[in-house]
Amino acid sequence: MPVKRHPHSIRFSQEEWESISRAAARHEIAPGEFVREAAGRVAAEQDGLSDVQLTPELIELMKRTFRGVHLLAYLKRDEMAQLGQNQKFVSGARAARTAQSDVLRRTTKNGDP
């Protein structure tokens, strides 16, 4: 079930918002979502949640999930190419590889297997 979100107002200069919008476009997400995700990561780090130790079982589950998503994405590649969405696939695959690398690097850095 989706989390219910409530609107909040944050003020940005025009230059800040343009920079956020460009970064969000590179990730193919809305600027508001980009800000929300970035703020959530900073809050988690400040709350000490970024140093949570993962169990070997959870790490293995994460790896299997990445492999499954990878397989499903590549099965859709031809369909997306036929629809003229090849660039969207390429950027999504790149973002997924980056996310996987980041997660695996953090788990290794934190002393997890």
Residues 57 and 21 in one domain: no
The answer to whether 20 touches 34, Cβ cutoff 8 Å, is yes
Task: Confirm whether 2 is domain-assigned.
Answer: no
Mark whether 46 and 93 lie in a shared domain.
no
The reply to whether 26 falls in a domain is yes
69-110 confidence digits (pLDDT tens): 777 777 777 788 888 887 887 887 788 778 777 776 665 554
Quick: pLDDT tens for 6-41.
888 889 899 999 999 999 898 888 898 888 888 877
pTM over 0.85: no
Q: How far apart are CA 30 and CA 45, in angstroms?
A: 23
Domain count, the chain: 2
In Å, how far are 23, 34, 38, 48, 85 from 106, measured between CA atoms? Answer: 23, 21, 17, 14, 32
The half-sphere exposure of 95 on its side-chain side, counting CA atoms within 13 A, is 14
Collapsed DSSP state (helix, strand, coil) of residue 28: coil
